[in-house]
Amino acid sequence: MLEDHAKLMAFFEQADEIVGRKRLQKMVYILKKCGFDFSERYTFHFYGPYSEELSTRIEELCNLGFIEEEREKEKGYYQYRYQLTDRGVHFLEQSDLRPENMTTLIEEMDEHSSKFLELVSTMLYFEDFSKDEIEEKVQTVKSQQNYTVDDFEAAWEFIARLNAH
């Protein structure tokens, strides 16, 4: 049971800090699509791919004291920050888990906004379709985001870099 939790803890260790629940969901999804061994199942939700399992595991890790969740008021809504605690670091050191190195991809994702990661993850969610069909589906299901041709071009370039890893 804790193997999946430990994989998430390794992600947090390599990421240092994740700001935002949506960002967290998208980063883990993108890493999973890049072949990293995350077991959480995703369905399509308001902000693109979403995993209830991931939310539950994060809550469990917080309850165990392995992950710290800090909630702060931000312009009328709450922003969440996540970090691995000393207890989580100690647990990882004692575990047999030898995590894959995700640091480069995490750093690349950190250079982009949550809106961009939402676009990329949504495009990856529809990966079985043609490029034109993917863009059409994204424009339909994410019409409120008003993604531009430039946004799609940047996302396709980002996906190509992800696939090169």
Q: In the predicted model, is pLDDT for residue 152 greater than 90?
A: yes
According to the model, what pLDDT value does residue 28 have?
Answer: 97
Q: Which residue has the higher pLDDT, 165 or 145?
A: 145
In degrees to the nearest 10, what's the CA dihedral of 149, 150, 154, 159? Answer: 0
Q: Model's pTM, two decimal places?
A: 0.93
- Note the pLDDT tens digit of each residue in 21-65: 999 999 999 999 999 999 999 999 988 999 999 999 999 999 999
- Note the pLDDT tens digit of each residue in 96-150: 888 789 999 999 999 999 999 999 999 999 999 999 999 999 999 988 889 999 9
Q: How far is CA 34 from the centre of its chain?
A: 11
Could you tell me how many helices (H) and strands (E) the chain has, helices first?
A: 8, 5
Q: In the predicted model, is pLDDT for residue 1 greater than 80?
A: no
According to the model, what pLDDT value does residue 46 have?
Answer: 84
Q: Which residue has the higher pLDDT, 1 or 97?
A: 97
Interior CA angle at 50 toward 19 and 123, to 5°? Answer: 95
